[in-house]
């Protein structure tokens, strides 16, 4: 679209939030859509093929990790929020909608996207556990949450120092 590579501009993150800041709403929407499809399509295919719940969850984990650490971009990917939300929605739509609602609530109240993501994904494994998912599936989603929160470590430092935009 003629904009600078978001991995080298703004927050140096190729995600929709940074793209919104540097390139506008249309580019951010396209980024959000593409990142979401990365999580949605593989999980839906795994479900369509009638794989076990664990294999479907692992498929989502692989899609998420592929987004965060893409081979073709020297492992410099996004933080994985849109992709992991799509994984959660396609894995269990009720839990996915709960994560979206939590993210929206925190984003609206605090106006900080990173905080909303950290809180929502901190809660995700608990929601899975409370709704009866197996321990192994819960651990897969715990892994997703852990990596996502780890990828937000610079945001966490800015939140703690009161400098997060």
Write down how long the chain is: 165
Is residue 1 predicted with pLDDT exceeding 90? no
The model's confidence at residue 84, banded by pLDDT at 50, 70 and 90, is very high
Is residue 74 predicted with pLDDT exceeding 90? no
Q: How far is CA 11 from CA 84, 85, 129, 131, 165, in A?
A: 20, 21, 34, 36, 11
Q: How far is CA 116 from CA 62, 103, 110, in A?
A: 23, 5, 8
Per-residue pLDDT averaged across 156-163, rounded? 94
This prediction has a pTM of: 0.92
pLDDT tens, position by position, 89-122: 999 999 999 999 999 999 999 999 999 999 999 9
Q: Which residues contact 161 (CB under 8 A, 6 or more apart)?
A: none
- Domain locations in the chain as residue ranges: 6-161
């Amino acid at each position: 679209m003629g904009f600078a590579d978001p991995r080298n501009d703004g927050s140096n993150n190729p995600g929709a939030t940074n793209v919104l800041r540097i390139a506008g709403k249309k580019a951010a929407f396209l980024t959000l859509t593409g990142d979401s499809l990365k999580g949605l399509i593989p999980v839906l295919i795994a479900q369509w093929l009638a794989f076990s719940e664990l294999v479907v969850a692992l498929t989502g984990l692989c899609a998420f990790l592929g987004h965060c650490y893409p081979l073709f971009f020297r492992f410099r990917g996004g933080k994985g929020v849109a992709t992991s939300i799509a994984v959660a929605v396609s894995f269990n739509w009720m839990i996915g909608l709960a994560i979206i609602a939590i993210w929206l609530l925190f984003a609206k109240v605090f106006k900080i996207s990173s905080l909303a993501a950290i809180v929502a994904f901190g809660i995700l494994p608990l929601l899975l556990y409370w709704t009866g998912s197996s321990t192994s599936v819960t651990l897969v989603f715990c892994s997703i949450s852990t990596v996502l929160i780890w990828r937000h470590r610079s945001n966490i430092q800015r939140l703690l120092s009161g400098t997060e935009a």
